Amino acid sequence: MSLSIDHVTKQFGQHKAVNDLTIQVPKGEMFGMLGANGAGKTTTFRMMLGLLEPSEGKITWDQKKIDYSRTSLIGYLPEERGLYPKLTVKEQLLYLGRLKGMKKADILTAMTEWLEKFKVPEYATKKIEELSKGNQQKIQFIAAVLHRPELIILDEPFSGLDPLNVDILKKAVMDLKNEGATIVFSSHRMEHVEELCEHLCIMHKGHPVVHGKLKEIKQDYGKKNVLIRADYSLDFLKDQPGVTKYDSLANGARIQVEGLDIAKRIFSIISEKGFVERFEVEEPSLHDIFVEKVGTSYE
Report the interface residues with ligand ATP, using CB under 6 A.
Answer: 12, 15, 17, 35, 37-43, 79
- Shortest distance (Å) from residue 213 CB to ligand ATP: 22
- The torsion angle over the Cα atoms of residues 113, 110, 50 and 159, rounded to 10 degrees, is -20
Parallel, antiparallel or unpaired: strands 224-230 and 276-282: antiparallel
Q: Given the complex with ligand ATP, which of 93 and 200 has the nearer CB atom? A: 200
Yes or no: say if 98 and 107 are a contact pair by the CB < 8 Å rule: yes
- Shortest distance (Å) from residue 17 CB to ligand ATP: 3
Buried b / exposed e over 177-199, threshold 16 CB at 10 Å, is beeebbbbbbbebbebbbebbeb
Q: Given the complex with ligand ATP, which of 7 and 215 has the nearer CB atom? A: 7
Q: Given the complex with ligand ATP, which of 15 and 70 has the nearer CB atom? A: 15
Amino acid at residue number 15: H
- Shortest distance (Å) from residue 204 CB to ligand ATP: 10
Amino acid at residue number 98: R
- Shortest distance (Å) from residue 208 CB to ligand ATP: 12
Our CA angle for 264, 226, 197, nearest 5°, is 120
For 19, 134, 205, 232, 249, the CA distances from 16, given in Å and listed in that order, are 6, 33, 8, 53, 43
Q: Given the complex with ligand ATP, which of 35 and 75 has the nearer CB atom? A: 35
Distance, in Å, from the CA atom of 202 to the CA atom of 107, rounded to the nearest integer, reads 36
- Shortest distance (Å) from residue 57 CB to ligand ATP: 15
- Shortest distance (Å) from residue 201 CB to ligand ATP: 11
Q: Given the complex with ligand ATP, which of 12 and 232 has the nearer CB atom? A: 12
What element of type H or E holds 31? strand 30-35
- Shortest distance (Å) from residue 79 CB to ligand ATP: 6
Q: Given the complex with ligand ATP, which of 26 and 38 has the nearer CB atom? A: 38
- 3 state SS for 162-214: CHHHHHHHHHHHHHHHHCCCEEEEEECCHHHHHHHCCEEEEEECCEEEEEEEH
Among residues 117, 153, 110, 152, the alpha carbon closest in space to that of 138 is found at 117
Q: Given the complex with ligand ATP, which of 205 and 224 has the nearer CB atom? A: 205
Among residues 187, 115, 188, the alpha carbon closest in space to that of 145 is found at 115
Yes or no: say if 37 and 30 are a contact pair by the CB < 8 Å rule: no
